[in-house]
A and B are shown apart, each in its own frame.
Chain A
Amino acid sequence: MIKRILKKTLWQKPLFLKRQLKKAKQLQGGIKLQGFKSLSNATPVQTLPVPPQLIIPLKQHIGEAAKPIVNVGSQVYKGQIIAEPNGYISSPVHASSSGVVAAIEARPIPHASHIRETCIVIHTDGKDQWHPSVQSMPKPLALSAEDLRRRIREAGIAGLGGAVFPSAVKLKPTSEIGTLIINGVECEPYITCDDVLMRYHADAIIQGALLLARIVRPRKIVVAIEDNKPQACQSITNAINRFKAAGVTAANTIHAAQVPEIFPAGGEKQLIKVLTGKEVPSGSLPYELGIVCLNVGTTAAIYDALYLGQPLVSRIMTVTGEGLDAPGNYRVSLGTPIHYVLAHAGFARQQNAEVIMGGPMMGVAIADHAAPVVKATNCLLIKNTRQIRQPAASMPCIRCGQCATVCPIRLLPQQLYWHARSKAFEKLANYHIDDCIECGCCQVVCPAKLPLVHYFRFAKSEIKARGRERKKADVSRLRNEARCVRLEKIRIEQEERKARRKAIRKQVKPPDTNPDQSMPVSSNASSSEGVIPEAQTEESPPLVKHEDQAKTMVR
């Protein structure tokens, strides 16, 4: 049971490259969790049938949502682009099977609350027919790096470990790359999709890695595997040896590395620390250190995209939890409704259990089972009261420091908690709340059973909202200032013009009639001049008010 969670820092030596200073390579913090992996990793991947209806969200990746390019009623084929990327950090979306577009509308997406986002709904025709553009390619290694990267982008590939960052963006490093890390460290309990992928499809991973090497030209490639997955490691090693034996010289740069089983060693930054001893500076990306890190699932998807020409239309995911008849790993078309997947895995609907997308540490409880499987869905976990539970009540923080001991970022969660509770957002920034990866380690070990991560999420979103508001206020303040300056300029100009005209008039009509009579005439004649100053006086008080408002908002 969870009691077996040992609050234990990672003192073990990383097994890879023992020659170097061992101290530098420890991932500080982290916890050991019981894996529960054997529930689902014993069987090969099964393919789930295509459901009658696919719901494909336009935003399945980090960045801008894609723009739909099909209309309701149009016929689409499997692998056809149905929405285009919208911006640099974006990704296209493909039809996962053939059929007819039934609707483009807001549908529930996998989220903790009932959020709806625009999705393309396809009624499938059961033929599962590929689009004619999907053609296998005999020799992708002969293509240029730029070409490969473009194809990866067109295939809609995003990080399948759960972060769904568009891979093509990651593969455009600005500096020279020393190490390419293929991340097979699945540190969350229960999830085994990367594990079975490595066991049964090691060749695809290696070939994908070699393609990636062609793009970023690293000095070495490391496939990182947790040391509780000996079969996966063996299978990868065997595959590497096969490639070496077949005379692929590039395979000599690949090797498998075992990393200690500790959560969250599979986080990108944590893995980089464990493997290389380097720390990714806060707020920057790994390639600034000369490192590119991709998930094994992503690597295999890149193989599919480049060798077989198949874009990302399905993914391997774990369906697990006690109370399922057939837990295991399934290849599921993107857009398949979650209840369809669960029904196939033998989940009885009447079981009033919650379903978590992702693992128990960082996943989200899904509000609506009609939501679809997306690129980020690496696992569906039935929340079972026996192992997966949250405490009913919490006690005050006793500042025991356990949370700080396990925090992989070395934050002080107890201080963050304190300030988040009192909403002292400036203090929170001082304590680096932005660097929190929401891994949940602190909450799991907390003897007071405080919902720490919940507080951190709340505080982060609050800080973000405030930042946005401030920016908006700044913008409107600037705009107002500019407007005042403009109006002031107009006023001065008008006065000048008036003065000039007066002067001219004086010259033309020397002091005979009184000026009172001439004034109305002049104002009628030059109506534009007469009106604007009035309008201006009307407008200026609210203007001042606006400016005040903006300033108070800034504060």
Chain B
Amino acid sequence: MPLRQSTNQQSGNNIVSAPFIASGQSISGVMRHVIYALCPAAVVAFYCFGWGILTNLVIACAGALLWESLMLYLRNRPITSYVTDNSALVTAILLGLALPPMAPWWLLLTGTFFAIAVAKQLYGGLGYNALNPAMAGYAVLLISFPREMSAWLAPLALPVADLGFFETVAWVIFNDLPNDVTFDTFTSATPLDYLRTEISRGVSFSEVRVSPVVGAIAGKGVEWINLAVLLGGLWLCYKKLISWHIPVTVLAGLGVLSGAFHFYAPERFADPGFHLFSGATMLCAFFIATDPVTAPVTPLGKIIYGFLIGFLTYIIRTWGGYPDAVAFAVLLMNFTAPLLDQYTQPRIYGAGQRKGGARNG
């Protein structure tokens, strides 16, 4: 039978049963779109922070690919087909954007090691990781190297020293600076950090608001990056690569809680706009919390997940030990995803006309 032979010749994965139509999509395609969506943010960040962003991204990507290939090799998996799925690059870019610009090379390599080798590959690789790799790497760095992790470049908008390309590379690799500058001259606290320390000193929010670190909505520079991320995220939603549930609810959760507290004591608590456009809020809402592998899959589950991330972010930012809380909020909620999935199954076609649960319509 010619037919049997033809099916046998093809490799083992080929299954001769319906449907006989192949998907036009692929994982690498999905990931490529996510990378495209991050491009505006990278450009704006480059504009705000200079070469330090570029070194971050390049080293992170190189590190991620290196660890990914190495782990795939050790785990005896096909290297090319898995490395080309671009998922490691997405993790690397997220990490590169989340870390302080001009981070030293070893920081980036350690971060990507924890993200890719430990949080992702040791758990079984793409699709099997319980925790968001980028955030796992970030959290490990934040705990291990608090000094480096809080040394944020001051945005170029502020009148501080500006390093050229070669000076940046020299700093990142050899920890060398030109003679006339010290590290402190071009770093500053992040707006969120600034807000915390000022408010804990008893300075009111309206005073913080007018300080030079703060721009129109939130921190100078950071607000523009957040806007660019928002743009890319909306494009992803439009492309239906992410559903609206998580981004909307993360932002709503954070917005509602910060709004309530700001309304209660405007001088002690920052307004929602400040929170929404500070730190990694937008990155979290559109790119990190929506990481499909570690988020719930049911619509209702996503909604609960998103709200809780928003709430946790606000709580940790306001009363926790770290200025930005996105990483911990996401990691904490990652643990709940399987449970949420279990209890929020949508009502299937023809099941009793129960009202709850059927939210995907």
Contacts and interface: CB of A to CB of B under 8 A. Distances in A.
Contacts of A5: 21, 23-24
A316 interface: no
Nearest to B361: A28
Contact of A397 (B7, B127, B348): B127
12 contacts: A5-B24, A26-B361, A352-B6, A361-B19, A369-B3, A389-B21, A399-B292, A400-B292, A410-B360, A415-B341, A447-B23, A449-B22
A440 B19 contact: yes
The 3 closest A-B pairs by CB, nearest first: A440-B19, A396-B127, A3-B24
B350 interface: yes
Contact of B21 (A23, A409, A444): A444
A402 B29 CA distance: 14
A453 interface: yes
Interface in B1-39: 1-4, 6-7, 10-11, 13-27, 29-30
B21 A388 contact: yes
Given A2-B22, A369-B3, A400-B292, A282 B350 contact: yes
Interface of B: 1-4, 6-7, 10-11, 13-27, 29-30, 81-82, 85, 87, 125-128, 240-241, 243, 292-293, 295, 297-298, 341, 345-353, 358, 360-361
B22 A395 contact: no
Contacts of B29: 447
Interface string A74-89: 0000000000000000
A525 interface: no
B348 A448 contact: no
B20 A395 contact: no
A352 B347 CA distance: 45
A399 B341 CA distance: 11
Which of B13, B19, B21, B82 is the most central at the interface, judged by chain A CB atoms within 10 Å of its CB? B19
A97 B127 CA distance: 57
Given A367-B3, A369-B3, A401 B292 contact: yes
Contacts of B14: 390, 392
A389 B22 contact: yes
Which of B10, B11, B18, B292 is the most central at the interface, judged by chain A CB atoms within 10 Å of its CB? B18
A429 to B, nearest CB: 13
B220 to A, nearest CB: 36
A429 B18 CA distance: 22
Which of A23, A390, A405, A415 is the most central at the interface, judged by chain B CB atoms within 10 Å of its CB? A390
Given A398-B126, A398-B292, A404-B297, A269 B18 contact: no
A428 interface: no
B31 to A, nearest CB: 9
A449 B21 contact: no
Contacts of B349: 28, 269, 273, 279, 282, 408-410, 435
A112 interface: yes
A412 B19 contact: no
Contact of B350 (A28, A279, A443, A445): A279
B361 A440 contact: no
Contacts of A411: 348
A255 interface: no
Nearest to A408: B349
Contact of B19 (A366, A398, A443): A443
A89 to B, nearest CB: 21
A485 to B, nearest CB: 41
Contacts of B345: 412, 431
A70 interface: no
Given A409-B348, A410-B347, A412-B298, A454 B17 contact: yes
Contact of B297 (A26, A281, A383, A399): A399
Interface string A369-398: 100000000000001000111111111111
A8 B239 CA distance: 11
A160 interface: no
Interface in A1-46: 1-5, 7-8, 23, 26, 28, 33
Which of B10, B297, B346 is the most central at the interface, judged by chain A CB atoms within 10 Å of its CB? B297
Contacts of A191: none
Contact of A365 (B17, B22, B26, B351): B17
B30 A447 contact: yes
A136 B22 CA distance: 48
A414 interface: yes
Contacts of A367: 1, 3-4
A390 B20 contact: yes
Contacts of B1: 367-368
A484 interface: no
Interface string A440-468: 10011111110101100100000000000
B337 to A, nearest CB: 9
B269 to A, nearest CB: 35
Given A390-B14, A400-B241, 12 more contacts: A1-B24, A23-B361, A279-B350, A281-B352, A365-B7, A367-B3, A404-B346, A404-B360, A405-B360, A444-B22, A447-B26, A447-B30
Given A396-B128, A399-B293, A404-B298, A391 B22 contact: yes
Which of B4, B81, B348 is the most central at the interface, judged by chain A CB atoms within 10 Å of its CB? B348
Contacts of A410: 346-349, 358, 360
Nearest to B25: A447
Which of B82, B241, B346 is the most central at the interface, judged by chain A CB atoms within 10 Å of its CB? B346
B17 A457 contact: yes
B19 A360 contact: yes
Interface string A337-365: 00000000000000010111010111111
Given A393-B81, A404-B297, A447-B29, A364 B18 contact: yes
Nearest to A284: B350
Given A2-B24, A412-B298, A435-B349, A112 B127 contact: no
A282 B351 CA distance: 6
Given A369-B3, A398-B292, A432 B24 contact: no
A165 B353 CA distance: 27
Nearest to B11: A392
Contacts of B352: 281
Contacts of B21: 2, 5, 33, 189, 360-361, 387-389, 440, 444
Which of A410, A412, A438, A444 is the most central at the interface, judged by chain B CB atoms within 10 Å of its CB? A410
B292 A446 contact: no
A444 B20 CA distance: 9
Interface in A122-150: none
Contacts of B348: 282, 409-411, 432, 435
Nearest to A414: B297
